Chain A
Amino acid sequence: EAGVTQFPSHSVIEKGQTVTLRCDPISGHDNLYWYRRVMGKEIKFLLHFVKESKQDESGMPNNRFLAERTGGTYSTLKVQPAELEDSGVYFCASSLLPGQGTDTQYFGPGTRLTVL
């Protein structure tokens, strides 16, 4: 069974440009999460989808970030316009069952975003 996949693996853009990250969860997983790790810091939660609905978007930094999950399958995270502080590794995770943090979240390899 394929794991969580993310595309691209790396992206280098200039400040002010737009970048779109994609995540394909494990097939059949209704729950999809985005996290971000800024260099040397903790991995921080961004948001949680249940199917196509945003269950929790409390971690989204600001309105330059837009996450979508049309059709409840893959998800995209768009950053527009990108700022220097957006640099980091963006992880996507998926899980089968919702609620109470008891179901394993499987992480993708991440997209390393560098904003120059």
Chain B
Amino acid sequence: GQQLNQSPQSMFIQEGEDVSMNCTSSSIFNTWLWYKQDPGEGPVLLIALYKAGELTSNGRLTAQFGITRKDSFLNISASIPSDVGIYFCAGSFLNTDKLIFGTGTRLQVFP
């Protein structure tokens, strides 16, 4: 089945550092999404990307939809303790609502 390769699996960084994570796929996606999951909660949408090459920011977060439609990255600048959580990329194909998720990147931020 479809698979998204997300890396890194985990990151341990110091407060104030920048973070980058990415997802790649062998399939072409119509939409790329980035979600964050806090402990005990469900995933919450951070950024949605709909066009190849699109670069979108949401506060300290920036994400890009790769030109080939097969990859995306998420950057977090100047990390803070509340950035801790699991970040998931997800993609969807044309004419379907079904989301294909990556395996997640667990982020730990130390003061």
Contact = CB atoms under 8 A, between A and B. Distances in A.
A62 interface: no
| Count class of interface residues, chain B | 20 to 34
- Which label, helix, strand, loop or mixed, suits the secondary structure of the B interface? loop
Contacts, number: 77
A95 B97 contact: yes
A1 interface: no
B98 A107 contact: no
Q: Is the interface of A mostly helix, strand, loop or mixed?
A: loop
Interface in B35-57: 35, 40-45, 48, 50
Interface string B56-71: 0000000000000000
Interface of B: 4, 6, 30-31, 33, 35, 40-45, 48, 50, 88, 90, 92-104
Given A42-B6, A42-B101, 16 more contacts: A35-B101, A42-B104, A43-B88, A43-B90, A43-B99, A45-B98, A48-B97, A56-B96, A56-B97, A58-B98, A91-B42, A100-B94, A100-B95, A102-B31, A107-B44, A108-B42
